[in-house]
Amino acid sequence: MNIFIVSQYFYPENFRINDLAVELKKRGHHITVLTGIPNYPKGEFYKGYSVKERREEEYEGIKVFRAWMTPRHKGAFFLFLNYISFVFGGVLKAKTMKETDFDLIYAFGTSPITQALPAIAMKKRIHKPLIFNVQDLWPENVVVVTGLKNKLVLGLLEKLVDYIYGCCDLVLVPSRSFVRKIQRRKNFMPKEKVRFWPQYSVVEKADYILERTGEFGNKKELYDIRKHWDKKKFHIVFTGNIGVAQGLDLVAKAASYLKDLPIRWHLVGGGRDKEQVIEAVKEEGVEEHVLFYKSVEESLVPIILREADAALIIMKADPILDMTIPAKFQTYLACGCALLGCVNGEVKEIIEESGLGIVSGRIDGKSLAEAAKKMFYLEEEERETFRERALSFSKENFEKEKILSYLENEFQKQCM
């Protein structure tokens, strides 16, 4: 099958669409990607890329076209320009590119949802099915992140979302709560067009890597983390984007309640709001207890998590975020981590019902501290039980080959 993928973000940016494209290629499909010029998360074009350089290239045998766009830089205005410029650049590319012999169009829907518009432009040009894999709910996600309350702007965004969904032949979402939320949209028809398709982990437990390859490799990115890994301490690890939705400022407050315990919090990743979290840690005077590291390749995450006593999954309290199952959840499970949760909603229910770890009673610093303290005082055998259940749950519910086979089956149905 000849598949056209549209995603504003793609390699060398670290997003899961990279792995999906490669896996589909391995399964015998011909993959073409339309994406932007890499600039996430720092907001500047990666070295060797510009509006004039490397606009077409290959990645793992996949042809990659890069649409004209502006970098994110810093601030809301430049972020807005970044989003809009990809829409214009992407639509122009979709309308003018010579390659059009596609059987299917697949749009990867992280924020912004507007990145689906170039995919719609291609659909209208070649009249082929469009599958939209929604990762973030709009406009709800905009409200959560920005606090936007302007009724006129929100009304326009609602109409845009209705238009995008209406152009899709199938909408895939990563949580069952998302299915119900989208189906309840006033203008979303038909209801069966939206389906639950969980994300899979793109990594596996570090011990499995060791068994298969005989080594982990000696990546220099691991050095900064390992030098802080005192075996006498209890280590809680968070990996991923450090943003507003994660509520990671609560870690600073939690650490302030636990200064007398040998607990260390390791936050691995980047993001627009990382500096705010660093400032919160300084204000609480817990710099020795909460440690920050730059983003690493996803392939290194299992090695980092291998030594973790618990993996932190946290999101601020919000009805929309309560519906979300972040991709790191599957990563933590696949790596066999005991989970320390500071979440509500669907993720909390899964952790508690399946016995995968400990979840705080509320979304605040004190409750997170109480949950971390409880995890700290457990017997190692109890934490090991959490790890075993995590691996088992991952294999039963997020097994990669099974999830990919389901997706291929949906591709075939849409093309019949």
Least confident of 161-170, 237-246, 284-293: 237-246
Rounded percentage of the chain residues whose pLDDT exceeds 70: 93
What's the pLDDT score for residue 98? 92
Structure confidence at residue 114 (pLDDT): 94
pLDDT at residue 5 above 90?
Answer: yes
Reported as a single tens digit per residue, the pLDDT across 75-88 is 888 988 999 999 99
Question: Phi/psi of residue 189, each to 5°?
Answer: -145, 150
Q: Which of 140-144, 158-162, 207-211, 268-272 has the lowest mean pLDDT?
A: 207-211
The whole-number average pLDDT for the span 383-403 is 93
Q: Is the pLDDT of residue 331 over 60?
A: yes
pLDDT of res. 143: 76
Q: What is the pLDDT of residue 225?
A: 65
CB-based contact 123:167 (threshold 8 Å): yes
Can you give the pLDDT at residue 213?
Answer: 45
pLDDT of residue 209: 46
Structural domains of the chain, with CATH:
2-200+399-415 (3.40.50.2000), 206-397 (3.40.50.2000)
Residues 213-249 pLDDT 10s: 444 455 555 656 666 677 789 999 999 888 666 889 9
Query: What is the sign, positive or negative, of the torsion defined by CA atoms of 357, 361, 363, 367?
Result: negative
